[in-house]
Amino acid sequence: MELKRVVITGLGALTPLGHDVNSFWSALKIGASGAVPITKFDTTQFKTTFACELKNYQALDYFDRKEARKTDPFTQYALIAAEEAIKDAQLQFEGLDRHRCGVIWSSGNGGIYTFDQELKAYAAEGRPRFSPFFVPKILIDTPSGAISIKHGLKGANYCPVSACASSTTALIDAFNYIRLDKADLMVTGGSEAPITESGIGGFGAMKALSTRNDSPQTASRPFDKDRDGFVMGEGASALILESLEHALARGANIYGEIVGGGMTADAYHATATHPEGEGALRGMQLALDEAGISAQTLDYINAHATSTSVGDLSELVAIRNLLGEDTKPWIGATKSMSGHLLGAAGALEATICTLSVFHDLLPPTINIESLDPAVPSDLKITPAKALPGTVDYAMSNTFGFGGHNATIIIKKYV
């Protein structure tokens, strides 16, 4: 069986740096930070008081009051990003075989906002007056269903969950569905709305979050010797994947081509990464093998790099071992600007890699004031300013609690 080529024809994003792809990309290029003091709840009793929130987001700007009341923010974010991607791809589903168009959408936490609100109301009232929308609002697969219902898409529809690797897992699954000729088109991506009392409190209790409350915009500092944890982010990103044949037949604009993906398990620890990055290395190598290229062919690696003490270094050890003697690719950490969108991070960073390939531009890594001396000296970390340069191949890494590793490779379309 001849495998189909899979291309990216539409992008959507709702992020702490902008509510659409163009504004997000513009902010990213100049090294803007999305971190601000949290406005969603009173943080007086919390160790971390800031996050990468969406700015000036109002559900009623996108939905009528009834629809907004029936959906958790993570589903709203998904619908908004998916709608932008669908419009960007200039899709007219009426002329397509909707049975071969599907949705694979992911999240790590689902409707955690609704869960918090309903349980607080129950605790306050002492009576189980739960909303009839409670269950569908919290289910992690609700966005995939909502997107398919809105557009009448009747192909494969589900939600893979692999913690912070979730949306990269979704992308790899969508890639494989099309590659194996089980679908012509997939709407895929991830969304997350975790800036809640339990989200900030829970990750804070694990000492995973930065507590640099006096300087939120410099708090996310991957690879810096003084990094002290990640900065929570929220939002969504969507990608339209199609078979090359299908995209060409409808005259679609093509941003890039997905050529490989790799998924592995560390089988090591519930939350910590393997110290030598053993699983990460295998996942990256699987992606390269599937793409049919060597590590030296890569131009850019968007690292998972959350700004944690152990995770950043274990990934760089894996990358160093992957590259061998050649250290050609630039390594970037865009979470320094966007924050960590947890289950949606992979989709957002795949979007970044797609734009990097399309525009031949390497996004910056900000807030490195003093590089950790343990970082291998021959690795090239992107500076605080964007760099123009040919980007024919970009790799995106995402790693999740439980030892989930997912890597995807995006190639310039020619």
- In this prediction, residue 222 carries a pLDDT of 98
Provide the CATH number for the domain around residue 348. Answer: 3.40.47.10
Same domain for 196 and 268? no
Asked if residue 115 and residue 219 are part of one domain, the reply reads: yes
Q: Do residue 297 and residue 189 come from a single domain?
A: no
pLDDT of residue 357: 98
Q: For this structure, is 304 an active site residue?
A: yes
Crossing angle (nearest 10°) for helices 345-359 and 21-29: 70
Q: Which of 246, 340, 353, 404 is catalytic?
A: 340
Query: Does residue 49 fall inside a structural domain?
Result: yes
User: How many domains, the chain?
Assistant: 2
Q: Are residues 23 and 135 in the same domain?
A: yes
Q: Are residues 201 and 278 in the same domain?
A: no
What integer pLDDT is reported at residue 64 of this predicted model?
96
pLDDT score, position 129: 85
Cα–Cα distance for residue pair 11/188, rounded to 1 Å? 10
Give me the mean pLDDT over the 271-289 stretch.
92
- The domain containing residue 17 runs over which residues? 7-249
Does the pLDDT of residue 71 top 80, yes or no?
yes
What tens digit of pLDDT does each residue of 217-272 get?
Answer: 999 999 999 999 999 999 999 999 999 999 999 999 999 999 999 999 988 898 78
Question: Is 254 contained in some domain?
Answer: no
Contact status, residue 261 vs residue 241, Cβ threshold 8 Å: no
Residues 327 and 240 in one domain: no
Same domain, 211 and 317: no
Instruction: Determine the 3-state secondary structure of 259 from DSSP.
Output: strand
Residue 328, pLDDT score: 86
Specify the pLDDT at position 271: 79
Among residues 19, 246, 274, 304, which one is catalytic?
304
- Which pLDDT belongs to residue 167? 98
**Angle subtended by helix axes 142-151 and 73-88, to nearest 10:** 40
Q: Contacts by 209-212 with C-beta closer than 8 Å and gap 24+?
A: 209/47, 209/48, 210/48, 210/307, 211/47, 211/48
Whole-angstrom distance, CA of residue 2 vs CA of residue 21: 34
pLDDT (tens digit, 9 = 90+) per residue, 21-65?
Answer: 999 999 999 999 999 999 999 999 999 999 999 999 999 999 999
pLDDT per position as a tens digit, 294-303: 999 999 999 9
276 and 236 assigned to the same domain: no
| 340 catalytic residue (yes or no) | yes
Q: Per-residue pLDDT for 93 more than 90? A: yes
pLDDT at 226: 97
Residue 210 in domain: yes
Q: What is the pLDDT of residues 308-325, one digit of tens each?
A: 999 999 999 999 999 998
Same domain, 236 and 333: no
The last residue of a domain, from among 224, 249, 274: 249
How far is it, in rounded angstroms, from Cα 110 to Cα 217?
A: 26
Distances (CA, A) of 225 to 152, 275, 395: 50, 17, 25
| Out of 111-115, 224-228, 273-277, 374-378, least confident range | 273-277
Interval 148-185: pLDDT, tens: 999 999 999 999 999 999 999 999 999 999 999 999 99
Q: Among residues 249, 269, 297, which one ends one of the domains?
A: 249
327 — pLDDT class (breaks 50, 70, 90): confident
Confirm whether 27 is domain-assigned: yes
Q: Are residues 279 and 388 in the same domain?
A: yes
245 shares its domain with 181: yes
Say if residue 235 is in the same domain as residue 335: no
The pLDDT value given to residue 126: 83
Judged by average pLDDT, the poorest of 14-18, 103-107, 276-280, 385-389 is: 276-280
Return d(Cα 58, Cα 289) in angstroms, integer.
44
Catalytic residue (choose from 164, 246, 353, 404): 164
Q: Where are the alpha helices (DSSP H) in 292-369?
A: 309-323, 335-338, 345-359
Which phi and psi (to 5°) does residue 378 adopt?
Answer: -95, 0
pLDDT at 326 over 80: no
| Distance from C-alpha of 363 to C-alpha of 337, rounded to nearest angstrom | 10
Phi-psi region of 75 (alpha: psi -120 to 50; beta: other; left: phi over 0): alpha
Report which of 405, 344, 356 is spatially closest to residue 15, judged by C-alpha positions. Answer: 344
255 occurs within a structural domain: no
159 is catalytic: no
Mean pLDDT across 329-339? 98
Hunting for tokens 């970037």 — which residue is that? Answer: 332
Higher pLDDT, 217 or 273: 217
pLDDT in tens, 181-222: 999 999 999 999 999 999 999 999 999 999 999 999 999 999
**Does the residue 239 lie in any domain?**
yes
Is the residue at 256 inside a domain?
A: no
Q: Is residue 2 part of a domain?
A: no
